[in-house]
């Protein structure tokens, strides 16, 4: 929620801009109550299971296919991550469009349309294409592709380079620390795509006029009008979510896949 709120505000001149993360939380709570932090929560909940399934399933398939090429193991892992991220983006983008449109709405939670009503509204107005339920697809492809390329590539390459520990607790902490750094670095590198995605999928500055059209056009426009730091808006809440979240996700993936391989 906070990530999107920061990314859609257009500089300090925006009357709805937040000074910092604390100000963002305080303002949302004061204006919308505790429920304001959960706007647009249904789309990511619905998308989460297929999203993660697609991510890890396709990563394994790309990894197997790339093992037959002359690419080194380290490069193959990064390329497999890129492929998994691009595939995942196609699945998740419609959910992101609905989520961002709901989170950008400053109305109280009870006054907002449901996720399904919002999806129908978007489809009825603009259809399923790149102006409707799939707008911002290029930015989403960039966001997920870059993130997963670094996420998987960094984690597995660094994990193999650092000696394992015979102590299960220390080994767990070793993997968690690498996963934490992996999720953090990936978030820092891919956030310009995230900002572009939020600008394209969120409300335009002038109703009825499309200012943010494509991924790189939006990045260039944000840079020219607001400076390069604007391309990193929402980075702190993003890291707070995807740093530890990325570590947990990789650990669950490793331990569950290991258990399945051993017992099945």
Tokens read off for 125: 């107005």
The answer to whether residue 16 scores a pLDDT higher than 60 is: no
- Specify the pLDDT at position 258: 84
Q: Which domain holds residue 34?
A: 2-263
pTM of the model: 0.85
**pLDDT one-digit tens code per residue, 150-190:** 999 999 999 999 999 999 999 999 999 999 999 999 999 99
* 258 compared with 250, residue with greater pLDDT: 250
More confidently predicted of 11 and 111? 111
C-beta of residue 251 within 8 angstroms of C-beta of residue 182: no
Which CATH number does the domain housing residue 168 bear? 1.50.40.10
Query: 1-10, 19-28, 231-240: which range is least confident on average?
Result: 1-10
The residue among 199 and 39 whose pLDDT is bigger is 199
Higher pLDDT among residues 224 and 205, named by residue: 224
Which residues touch 199 (CB under 8 Å, ≥6 apart)?
7, 8, 212, 218, 222
pLDDT at 48: 77
Render pLDDT for 105-125 as a digit per residue (tens, 0 to 9). Answer: 766 566 778 888 999 999 999
List, for residues 30-59, the tens digit of each pLDDT value: 777 676 666 667 777 777 778 888 999 999
Band of pLDDT at residue 264, cut at 50, 70 and 90: confident
Q: Which of 4-13, 96-105, 121-130 has the highest mean pLDDT?
A: 121-130
Give the pLDDT confidence score for residue 18 in this predicted structure: 64
Mean pLDDT of the region 203-226: 93
Mean confidence (pLDDT) of the chain: 88
Count of domains for the chain: 1
At 66, the pLDDT band (50, 70, 90 cuts) reads: very high
pLDDT of res. 247: 94
Instruction: Give per-residue pLDDT as tens, 84-103.
Output: 999 999 999 999 999 999 88
């Amino acid at each position: 929620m906070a990530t999107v709120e920061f990314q859609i505000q257009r500089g300090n001149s925006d009357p709805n801009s937040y000074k910092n993360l604390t100000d963002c939380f305080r303002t949302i709570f004061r204006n919308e109550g505790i429920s304001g932090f959960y706007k647009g929560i249904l789309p990511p909940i619905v998308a989460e299971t297929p999203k993660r399934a697609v991510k890890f399933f396709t990563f394994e398939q790309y990894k197997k296919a790339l093992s037959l090429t002359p690419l080194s193991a380290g490069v193959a892992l990064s390329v497999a991550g890129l492929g998994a991220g691009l595939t995942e983006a196609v699945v998740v983008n419609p959910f992101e469009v609905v989520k961002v449109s709901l989170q950008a709405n400053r109305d109280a939670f009870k006054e907002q349309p449901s996720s399904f009503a919002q999806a129908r509204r978007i489809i009825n107005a603009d259809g399923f294409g790149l102006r409707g339920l799939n707008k911002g697809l290029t930015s989403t492809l960039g966001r997920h592709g870059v993130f997963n390329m670094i996420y998987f590539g960094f984690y597995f390459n660094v994990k193999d380079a650092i000696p394992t520990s015979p102590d299960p607790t220390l080994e767990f902490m070793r993997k968690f620390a690498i996963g934490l750094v992996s999720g953090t670095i990936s978030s820092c590198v891919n956030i310009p795509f995230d900002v572009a995605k939020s600008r394209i999928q969120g409300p335009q500055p002038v109703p009825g006029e499309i200012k943010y059209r494509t991924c790189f056009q939006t990045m260039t426009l944000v840079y020219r009008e607001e400076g390069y730091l604007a391309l990193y808006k929402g980075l702190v809440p993003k890291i707070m979510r995807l740093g530890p979240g990325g570590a947990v996700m990789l650990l669950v993936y490793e331990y569950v896949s290991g258990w399945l391989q051993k017992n099945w």
